[in-house]
Amino acid sequence: MKLIKCTPYMLLCASFIMLASCNKDFLERPAEDQVEAPYFFNTAKDLEVASNDFYTMLLTTEVYADDASSDNIMPLNPANRVKGNRIIPVTSGSGGWAWGNLRKINYFLANYHKVSDQAAREKYSGIARFFRAYFYYDKVKTFGDVPWYGKVLDAKDPDLYKPRDSRVLVMDSVLADLDYAIQYIPKEKKLNLITKYTALLLKARVALFEGTFRKYHQIPGHEKFLNEAVKASNELMSLGGYTLFTDGGPQASYRNLFARDKQDAVETILAVDYELGLKVHSTANTFTSPTLGAYGMMKDMVNSYLMADGSRFTDRANYKTFSFYDEMQQRDPRLTQTTAGPDFRVNGETKNEPVILNLTTTGYRLIKALPNRAQWASGASVFDIILFRYAEALLVFAEAKAELGTLTQSDLDQSINKLRTRAGMPPLNLANANSNPDPFLVDMYPHVGSANRGVILEIRRERRIELFNEGQRWDDLMRWKEGTKLTKPMVGVYFSGLGAHDWTGDGQADVFLHSGSTAGAPSSVTSMINIKQRTLRDPITGQQKANAGNLDPFPQNGIFEEGRDYFSPIPLEDLVLNKNLVQNPGWE
């Protein structure tokens, strides 16, 4: 379903555009647009048109790019937040400290009641409050404490320059907005519009984030939010409106879900719609261009996938020095539906794709959400972008209950194990997980306590695999207080040394490593790697610029300061304008 166009209502739309594009922050500006309310907020159609403007707040292709600013994907140019290079912004409203969208929402909420249609008032005020919760959730994730504004401010309002409100007040207000949205937005299945189901999943996401953030950062009140996460995810699961997409079976359904052009309302709750000739994007070009993204999955991500029989890959002897072909055998089927395996074929084609390693920094080429080849050019992608899907509710439910200490085997069977069944994987056993925590994951997430440690680690494994490249990994590391994970080596595929390597297991060389001379490279080779340019790191000794080891696309390693980097800095101009604001710790 397409959003309603604003053409018949240009007066209001023009005022919104003016507010969004004005350089001065809305807090400094009188509410001159209020005179338009008597001429607009009169019908249900007016409310629909006005609420359509809120959808511009939603992420689009950024969802499939954000993991490149985490420990999941290494792009050609590492992100500043991974390198520890974030700087304090200067301009007012920059760096995420912008408030124009909030003004639009509060202006709507100050005027919607003038419409006589009660059903329309309830639905669209619910959508407005959904977006206010969405707005503030992003602000709290980014900055921690922020000022709460539940009304439109004029130039003389004393709240213009108030200090930041407490996280408790803001997040309680966010929950209240989401509860209102859940109550009043209809229970419809609308793929491109906000519904009751979307509100339930946003509440589950927000409450899980806040509950675990408080738990691991030692802020009081985590149980309340974890219980709310259980409540919201359980309600979504119980409504029965959605299930998991299984077309193609275990060997293809996960990849098919993301790579198809048009989404449907089976698992996908909310998606951004794209149409050839109307609205296109360049995501596939970023995935496949050697000079743009060149995205590569990290080696420790590959190591996280279980064997097909449910055993741990990292329990195998010498797993760190397996060849690419060997490490891809008999694994969780989602591995080769996420990164190109030895038999990778482009969607819609009947022949295996040649091994071309200049398209990926790590050797593990990204194929999740990669469509057919016709969409690989700049501005040629038309596949829909998934923003909310049912699988996340299953993950939230299991994690929240595990963190609360109330998780049962039955809970796992109706959540995590449905995901594993879709992938053709054996079920997760609660008792076995807790009696034998994975040392590989214990080292990855050292802050997990002894209670339920094993199953919490396994749920984190499942979450990282299932939600890979869906824009949630950075937030997960922040809420788990595992920012220093970013300082560990971020490496790629292992090579045993110089010379020819059989990547596909067909007995012919596909990759040739050299130190300057390609003499002796077999004619079957499709990728050359000069280890003086793309260096190797020994996985046993840690030696860099080695003759054997993992591709090392980020040799300097990430930087993360515990006392600073969980939050972003407030712009300097805003600190000058509002003397009651205080800069975040470590950014003074």
pLDDT digit string, tens, across residues 390-448: 999 999 999 999 999 999 999 999 999 999 999 999 999 999 999 999 999 999 999 99
pLDDT band at 154 (very low <50, low <70, confident <90, very high): confident
Looking at the domain assignment, is residue 462 inside a domain? Answer: no
User: Same structural domain for residues 52 and 182?
Assistant: yes
Measured distance CA(244)–CA(240) in Å, rounded? 11
String of DSSP letters for 35-70: GGHHHHTTSHHHHHHHHHGGGGGS--GGGGTGGGGT
Looking at the domain assignment, is residue 547 inside a domain? Answer: no
User: Same structural domain for residues 210 and 318?
Assistant: no
User: Over pLDDT 70: what percentage of the chain?
Assistant: 93
User: Same structural domain for residues 19 and 130?
Assistant: yes
User: Same structural domain for residues 196 and 323?
Assistant: no
Looking at the domain assignment, is residue 71 inside a domain? Answer: no
Q: Tell me the mean pLDDT in the region 262-275.
A: 97
Choose between 4 and 168: higher pLDDT: 168
Q: Tell me the mean pLDDT in the region 356-370.
A: 97
Measured distance CA(20)–CA(7) in Å, rounded? 18
Looking at the domain assignment, is residue 16 inside a domain? Answer: yes
Measured distance CA(51)–CA(105) in Å, rounded? 8
User: Same structural domain for residues 49 and 185?
Assistant: yes
Which segment of 4-8, 371-375, 464-468 scores lowest on mean pLDDT? 4-8
Q: Which of 384, 411, 444 lies at the terminal end of a domain, its last residue?
A: 384
Looking at the domain assignment, is residue 479 inside a domain? Answer: no
Determine contact, residues 528/518, Cβ cutoff 8 Å. yes
Q: Tell me the mean pLDDT in the region 178-200.
A: 98
Looking at every residue in the chain, the average pLDDT score rounds to: 93
User: Same structural domain for residues 209 and 280?
Assistant: no
Q: Which of 384, 409, 438 lies at the terminal end of a domain, its last residue?
A: 384
Q: Which of 384, 413, 429 lies at the terminal end of a domain, its last residue?
A: 384
User: Same structural domain for residues 293 and 197?
Assistant: no
User: Same structural domain for residues 277 and 353?
Assistant: yes
Measured distance CA(186)–CA(123) in Å, rounded? 7
* pLDDT over 70 (residue 15): no
User: Same structural domain for residues 207 and 296?
Assistant: no
Residue 2 has what pLDDT? 40
User: Same structural domain for residues 168 and 22?
Assistant: yes
What b-and-e string marks burial along 364-397, b requiring 16 or more CB atoms within 10 Å of the CB? bbbbbbbbeeebbeeebbbbbbbbbbbbbbbbbb
What is the number of domains present in the chain? Answer: 2
| 470-501 pLDDT tens trace | 999 999 999 999 999 999 999 999 999 999 99
330 closest CA partner among 467, 322, 461? 322
| Terminal C-alpha separation, the chain | 47
Looking at the domain assignment, is residue 118 inside a domain? Answer: yes
Measured distance CA(498)–CA(421) in Å, rounded? 41
* pLDDT over 70 (residue 71): yes
- CATH code of the domain containing 108: 1.25.40.390
| 229-241 pLDDT tens trace | 999 999 999 999 9
| 194-252 pLDDT tens trace | 999 999 999 999 999 999 999 999 999 999 999 999 999 999 999 999 999 999 999 99
User: Same structural domain for residues 53 and 161?
Assistant: yes
Q: Which domain holds residue 39?
A: 7-57+94-217
3 state SS of 8: helix
Model confidence pTM above 0.75: yes
Residue 39 has what pLDDT? 65
276 closest CA partner among 265, 259, 261, 289? 261
Choose between 2 and 151: higher pLDDT: 151
Instruction: Determine the Cα angle at 6 with ends 378 and 58, to 5°.
Output: 50
Q: Tell me the mean pLDDT in the region 509-514.
A: 98
pLDDT band at 37 (very low <50, low <70, confident <90, very high): low
Determine contact, residues 430/455, Cβ cutoff 8 Å. yes
User: Same structural domain for residues 173 and 34?
Assistant: yes
Q: Tell me the mean pLDDT in the region 99-122.
A: 96
| 314-341 pLDDT tens trace | 999 999 999 999 999 999 999 999 999 9
Looking at the domain assignment, is residue 160 inside a domain? Answer: yes
Looking at the domain assignment, is residue 311 inside a domain? Answer: yes
Residue 488 has what pLDDT? 97
Residue 36 has what pLDDT? 63
